[in-house]
Structure 1
């Protein structure tokens, strides 16, 4: 899902297979991405939802990043 909430800022929402033990691995990867402003993972949600605030509305880039790290990631659409 892509929702523009301010000029040039978007919220991207993904279903993942991330777990608590994966946070140390994925944190530096997501923090290093210049297109990502903020991110968080709701580990209490059945879909382990990853929410990203980004400068760009492209979800493919995020999916590619997580897939390259060995995780499942798919866009959640309303």
Structure 2
């Protein structure tokens, strides 16, 4: 379900930003990021996608799931 309005101001001018995938407790979670074009607030919608199938993950896939300490955390303000 895509949000129809901003939870902060109630406006409907939302921009969907690039989603993030995270592996937690053998599950893949997708975090959808949204920015309100009216008030500028950012908010997320988190969806558990399903269990990881560890036998089918390649080393490259695993590297993509591991958080890199050199990357900035959170939203740039």
TM-score in same-fold range (> 0.5)? no
Give the structure with higher Rg (CA).
Answer: 2
Looking at both structures, which has the greater relative contact order when contacts are Cα pairs under 8 Å and sequence separation is at least 6? 1
- Normalised by the length of structure 2, the TM-score is 0.28
TM-score by length of 1: 0.28
Greater helix proportion: 1
